[in-house]
A and B are shown apart, each in its own frame.
Chain A
Amino acid sequence: MSELSPAALLSNLKTRRVVNRGFAVLGILAIAIATLILLVLLSQMLIRGLPRFSGDFFLSFPSRFPEKAGILSAWVGTILVMLVTVTAAVPLGIASGIYLEEYAPKNWLSDFIEVNVTNLAGVPSIIYGLLALGLFVYNLGMGDSILTAGLTLALLILPIVVVTTREALRAVPTNIREAAYATGATKWQVTWDHVLRYSLSSIMTGVIIGLSRAIGETAPLITIGALTYIAFLPEPPLNPDFPFVPLTARFPFLNFQQLFAWLHAPFTVMPIQVFNWVSLPDKDFHINAAAAGSVLIGMTLTMNAFAIYLRHRFRKGIKW
């Protein structure tokens, strides 16, 4: 580089500072616009749906009268489906991630799996619906049940969980692993006691992203046969009276049929209910749709808040 006079140097510095500040302003502007649009959309929906918010809205089944129509079957369905999704996708996804990152030998097979997992994360959700229709509904005979829906959405978010788990594991500093190995720990001990523990908060982020995607899905669930009008809830797994848990006289003393009957129940979910109300000709139903949409957003935020809380708990006490 050629020599610069002090004056030229100063003016050069000045331009660079202006560019620097300019980008900061641009960034703030971009965030502000995005947040503003989101806020306007959300509050607009909330205000539209406001007249419907009442206890009855949460405790009534859908109806042909907009004032009487509620979301009981929808929110219960959504919670149960998400429960199955979490139960299936989280252990399976994290385990796959650990295997691929820590254990799998680097050969063409693991490369092949890696390419596939990454690509699966970008497959349109309707394709998962068709896959699930063939596999779960027709081949395995699970019917159009909460179990099928939960597993379908689990398939959908599995790639996301696997990929983020791997990235989280990769971010753990190598010296932590090496220190553990140096004390004679096995690979499993290193993974379980150290690597996994340190990376869990990042893994949770991946799980949140996955679940937030799953809770808003409609297409794959309609494909597998989710209902639009359903005015009853799945059989409760617990009895209303003491001792609540359904017991039987014979081994294993627990009525598993009753405990898991809800998995096989027909269902609907919040996004389907919203979609149905939006598409009805009677405009009063659009108010219901706005209210139900707000509730769905609320459910997503609650789920995320819970996950952030867990993440916070796990992160506590970890110091590198």
Chain B
Amino acid sequence: MKLQSNWRSSSAIATLATVLAVATPVAVKAQVPTVRVDGSSTVFPITQAVAEEFQAEQRGNVRVTVGVSGTGGGFQKFCIEDGTHISNASRPIKDSEAEACEAAGVEFIEIPVAYDAISVVVSDENDFIESMTLEQLTMLWSVESQDDVTLWSDIDPDWPAEEIELYGPGADSGTFDYFVEDVIEVDSRTDYTPSEDDNVIVRGVSGSEFALGYFGLTYYLNNQDELRAVAVQNEDGDFVYPSADSVNDGSYNPLSRPIYIYVNKQAAEDIPEVAAFVEYYLENADDFVSAVDYVPLPSEDYEAAMNRFESGETGAIRLREGL
């Protein structure tokens, strides 16, 4: 008898639950306006910090959501009808992505928000690599070296004849795109250990004195006890270490890169909270960017970005040379 009643009630609950699930009305809009952001994991810490403080300041009248689907994945959700309002990007939008936006009728405003310095790192047990020329870096990472450059002594005869171990971001990452297109300017070799999680690269490089990897500055700054940065020769011929100062004075080239947010112009016009969020972002960018170990832009660039946003200038146009 006991079994019987248990059986009855549980089957009744299951039936009820099924009916409710099927009978659910579709499309209910939340009353509180929500700013939707998605995109690069590199930009995420800044946008999260801004979102947290912005929501606190607005006292629950605005909601901000931030996703992490990568720069490319973010643009796929941005360049569609009724897509995200803002897309985080660790590289400028590609032509193909801009075309997708145009096809979907999405006009965007490009806003640089900070600098990131791609840091080339080795383990602190490594005692032979102090600095590299851009040619050496290119030789190390080029796809053409895949078969020929396998020992450190292949690059510099003074370096040991030990196997090279390479770690780097995966091909979906904006960091990878920038490194390939603007630093080494040839296709990347593929026989390295790729990871979307930069902490995996940290662990990989710190684990072997013959390993080398690259990622954003903040991961280097947080792991200086295990890693050492390699000074890379810039366009003027100086060997420069990654730091906020060397990025700011422009000497850390070509490895420093601007990172961006892209704002849907229509959303900024229609939803006052989106515009308020972007304005708050730019007004406070300096503090938030430094707080998460990225390098802020000079204040006149934030002003120029604000002017661009307020005038509604759309398209992939550099704010100034190098930005």
| Residues in A neighbouring B65, C-beta threshold 8 A | 227, 229-230, 266
Closest chain-A Cβ to B53's Cβ sits at a distance in Å of 9
Q: CA of A230 to CA of B48 in the docked complex: distance in angstroms?
A: 9
Does B256 make an interface contact (CB < 8 A)?
no
Q: CA of A318 to CA of B6 in the docked complex: distance in angstroms?
A: 13
Q: CA of A227 to CA of B73 in the docked complex: distance in angstroms?
A: 13
Does B45 make an interface contact (CB < 8 A)?
yes
Known A-B contacts A64-B45, A263-B24; the reply to A279 vs B30 at CB < 8 A is no
| Residues in B neighbouring A265, C-beta threshold 8 A | 30
Determine if A64 and B18 form an interchain contact, defined as CB atoms under 8 angstroms apart.
no
Determine if A257 and B18 form an interchain contact, defined as CB atoms under 8 angstroms apart.
no
Among A87-95, A97-105, A114-122, A241-249, the one that faces the other chain is A87-95
Picked from A90, A227, A275, the residue with its CB within 8 Å of the CB of B14 is: A90
Interface membership of chain B positions 19-63, coded 1 if the CB is closer than 8 angstroms to chain A and 0 otherwise: 011011111101010101010010011011101100100000001
Determine if B25 and A231 form an interchain contact, defined as CB atoms under 8 angstroms apart.
no
| Residues in A neighbouring B21, C-beta threshold 8 A | 84, 87-88
Does B273 make an interface contact (CB < 8 A)?
no
Q: How large is the interface on A (under 10, 10 to 19, 20 to 34, 35 or more residues)?
A: 35 or more
Picked from A88, A90, A197, A231, the residue with its CB within 8 Å of the CB of B51 is: A231
Does A44 make an interface contact (CB < 8 A)?
no
Does A280 make an interface contact (CB < 8 A)?
yes
Known A-B contacts A231-B52, A281-B199, A282-B222; the reply to A261 vs B28 at CB < 8 A is yes
| Residues in A neighbouring B221, C-beta threshold 8 A | 281
Picked from B67, B198, B223, B291, the residue with its CB within 8 Å of the CB of A64 is: B291
Determine if A283 and B222 form an interchain contact, defined as CB atoms under 8 angstroms apart.
yes
Closest chain-B Cβ to A45's Cβ sits at a distance in Å of 16
Q: CA of A229 to CA of B41 in the docked complex: distance in angstroms?
A: 11
Name A residues whose Cβ lies closer than 8 Å to a Cβ of B.
62-64, 84, 87-88, 90-91, 141-142, 144, 147, 197, 222, 225-232, 235, 256-257, 260-261, 263-266, 275-276, 278-283, 286, 313-314, 316-318
Residue contacts A-B, CB under 8 angstroms, 10 given:
A141-B27, A222-B67, A222-B68, A225-B38, A225-B69, A264-B27, A276-B68, A314-B3, A314-B7, A317-B3
Known: A64-B52, A229-B51. 10 other contacts (CB 8 A): A84-B21, A91-B17, A144-B67, A147-B24, A225-B77, A227-B66, A227-B67, A235-B30, A280-B45, A313-B6
